[in-house]
Structure 1
Amino acid sequence: MEEGEDEESGGGGGGGGEGKLILFQGGEHLTLEDVLNATGQVMEKTSYGTVYKAKLADGGTIALRLLREGSCKDRGSCLPVIRQFGKVRHENLIPLRAFYQGKRGEKLLIYDYLPNKTLHDLLHESRVGKPVLNWARRHKIALGIARGLAFLHSLETPITHGNVRSKNVLVDDFFVARLTEFGLDKIMVPAVADEIVGLAKVDGYKAPELQKMKKCNSRTDVYAFGILLLEILLGRKPGKGGRNGDFVDLPSLVKVAVLEETTMEVFDVELLKGTRSPMEEGLVQALKLAMGCCAPVASVRPAMDEVVRQLEENRPRNRSALYSPAETRSESGTPF
């Protein structure tokens, strides 16, 4: 089946007029019957939909995002954008494998299921067996995210991610980062797109100019990436959710540390393990890059391809840990 070709009602006993399944590269094996009969387990709920881990009859697993009724634009406005998403393939992006619209207008986005941890969990969960997140590993994660965003921004019809945050980055055992949820605001009705921007504000990833203009763009993605890079370097959650429910403004923390000449103290302690000199290892340069991405004036921020270039030039010297599965905190020995 051709990429993006429509498959009507699934065939194979799927019944007539149940809806429409559109398949993309890598999803050709799916039928409408597979999708509708999959048994789902809720993984995540948001204001605009629910994500299920769904088991197929053949034992395979997929991730289904059921979009909330009324959250999505009508089929005519939605489909061209969905077809564009279905063509996007990059190692740092989760691919869309299929799209289903039911007779009652219900919409399902179908992705690969990846049993990976989110970057948010890796950074902020404390548990035995969690991977050691030294600078080499964090750098690899940050570079992967930057490459995924740069790819989206460089497409013939550029895609703005619109919801860059640590909860939307999956990280595998080899510290390869993959972005989820890119471009969803493009298919949402304006009120729901505004909700996504509002959530970015609460979570501390919202660019200042989004107060006046509601539409995300490549520069607002760069701002959110800057916050995410600070989160990686500082090990602190941005936005609301401190112990007292205070708002944590990561760029302000760094500015204060620079003024007080305590810059080395802002880095996550775990990040510094095994790092002889933060200056030599490129940590300070990464901090400067993150702050540049968070510039209050959008036009001053670097483009994502420039961010990728700087991160590639600023690789940690000790990268021996990168291509071996995760050493964990429960294991003895010094983290590499």
Structure 2
Amino acid sequence: MLPFYQSMEVSHPPNGSGYPARKRNTGKKIAIGAGVGAGVGGFIAGGLLCLLWYKSRERKQHSTSSILLGPTTSSEPSSNRDPELGSSQYQTTLFPYEELKEATNGFSTSRELGGGGFGIVYKGKLRDGRVVAVKRLYKNNWKRVEQFMNEVEILSQLRHPNLVSLYGCTSRHSRELLLVYEYVPNGTVADHLHGPHAHNRALTWPIRMRIAVETADAVAYLHAVEPQIIHRDVKTSNILLDSSFHVKVADFGLSRLFPLDATHVSTAPQGTPGYVDPFYHRCFQLTDKSDVYSFGVVLAELISSKPAVDTNRTYREINLANMTVSKIQNCQLEQLVDPRLGYQSDWEMKTMITLVAELALRCLQLEREMRPSIKEVLEVLRGIESGEYKTKKVVEADVPVREDDSLLKNILSYSPDSITGRWESRATTPNTSV
């Protein structure tokens, strides 16, 4: 008989491991199962944390409450940000995106009120019953967010009966950037002068005079606040009318907050063809007189009922500013004036229109120093509207204007019909507004 130790079979695992094969395989399975379980658990936990974060952010974003909005945050380099936006905080109401989508019937085309270079405006009705105008900015990017915050910052600080009121906006982190304004029901001045409502002939001369006065009053208010605000896009399609034909100046997306100690801001020209100040266009220097020039074009439209630019007119008259200057210089004002206003048949009407035309001419002068301030423009318009001219000597419109008359010195010979956003500013203030 063999010794006990010799009769035993010893199992030697392969590869020299010190454990039996069955135990080793079981250990591997346990380890793999534990790893998979841990991975799945971590994934689930991460998903729950992301869900909780998203819900928390959504609640904050969609709460309709009055809060302070800080300056825009962006991954853009700080050198590319517009210093004029500053770091001041301003207060406005945040609306949930879903409520505004519901208010406009999913941004239905049937609710569209108009559009422009930055977005489309829709008519909407909030859950509290208010009828509003919702401006939906085009796809989000740094430029659009900056423009959005610029308009919110400006409008949230302004209070004037002839400026459109801002009710609120969505968060700048919202899926879309939306601005909520008071609804102004009667269209724009452009609509009534040469647009879809022109056939109604609702804008009589007294109403046109009131539109001129109230628009000048609104722009004068902007120029008087500190820091001064340059609208930069004064035009008849940005002058809204309420049911009583009172003015509400709108669209501050291009506006600039003017530094207190500056005489001008150097920036690439921006605005609407036909309204852009030629000095600004040529020298890249934006001043309050740039708004005065644009207002001069508005006065020309109120006199003529013609659009600022019309390619159907003769080459030299495509631009209304050119046409206005030419007609006045050649003593042909009657060819510019809307014949429905009674210019030829009513002496008083003829005198008032002539005085407004002379004022428009001053606003349209090439050199900005030769233009009046908007405050002076407002004073002159109020005097014409009130009839002060009746107590003063007035030159008949058909008397030729002397060549040395101060009104005809340095008169603008053209206004840019087109502009480009590719020009680079050569001065100290960066141009980042659109």
8 Å contact from structure 1 (residues 49, 67) kept in 2 = yes
**Other-structure match for 2:44:** none
How many angstroms apart in 2 are the aligned matches of 1:269 and 1:110? Answer: 39
Among 335, 338, 348, which residue is 1:265 paired with?
335
8 Å contact from structure 1 (residues 136, 316) kept in 2 = no
Range moving further from structure 2, 228-237 or 212-221: 212-221
What is the RMSD computed on CA atoms of the aligned residues?
A: 3.5
1:250 Cα shift? Answer: 2.5
Q: Which amino acid counterpart does residue 144 of structure 1 have in structure 2? A: E
1:72 Cα shift? Answer: 3.4
1:237 equivalent in alignment to 2:302? no
8 Å contact from structure 2 (residues 186, 245) kept in 1 = no
| Unmatched runs of 5 consecutive residues or more in structure 1 | 1-12, 188-192, 318-336
Identity %: 24
8 Å contact from structure 1 (residues 165, 205) kept in 2 = yes
1:38 equivalent in alignment to 2:103? yes
**Other-structure match for 1:331:** none
1:61 equivalent in alignment to 2:143? no
1:71 Cα shift? Answer: 6.0
**Other-structure match for 2:61:** 18
Q: Which amino acid counterpart does residue 363 of structure 2 have in structure 1? A: C
1:147 Cα shift? Answer: 0.4
Equivalent pairs, count: 295
Q: What SS does the aligned partner of 1:314 have? A: helix
How many angstroms apart in 2 are the aligned matches of 1:52 and 1:227? Answer: 28
**Other-structure match for 2:244:** 174
Question: Per chain length, whose mean CA-contact separation is higher, i.e. which structure has more relative contact order (CA < 8 Å, sep 6+)?
Answer: 1
Which digits, 9 at most, give the CA deviation of each residue in 1:183-224, with x for residues without a partner? 53449xxxxx96852xx12xx111112323446431111000
**Other-structure match for 2:319:** 249
Distance 1:109 1:20, change over 3 A: farther
Q: What SS does the aligned partner of 2:112 have? A: strand
Distance 1:88 1:215, change over 3 A: farther
Taking the TM superposition and a 5 Å limit, the aligned residue runs for 1:1-336 are 15-18=58-61, 23=66, 34-35=99-100, 37-39=102-104, 40=107, 41-68=111-138, 69-70=140-141, 72=143, 79=149, 82-104=152-174, 106-125=176-195, 130-186=200-256, 196-197=270-271, 200-201=272-273, 204-214=274-284, 216-242=286-312, 248-272=318-342, 276-278=346-348, 281-315=351-385
Q: Greater share of strand residues, 1 or 2?
A: 1
Q: Which amino acid counterpart does residue 141 of structure 2 have in structure 1? A: G
1:176 Cα shift? Answer: 1.0
Q: What SS does the aligned partner of 2:275 have? A: coil
Distance 1:57 1:14, change over 3 A: farther
1:161 Cα shift? Answer: 0.9
Q: Greater share of helix residues, 1 or 2?
A: 2
Q: Which amino acid counterpart does residue 266 of structure 1 have in structure 2? A: L
1:240 Cα shift? Answer: 3.5
How many angstroms apart in 2 are the aligned matches of 1:316 and 1:61? Answer: 35
How many angstroms apart in 2 are the aligned matches of 1:91 and 1:312? Answer: 17
Q: Which amino acid counterpart does residue 294 of structure 2 have in structure 1? A: A
How many angstroms apart in 1 are the aligned matches of 2:212 and 2:218? Answer: 10
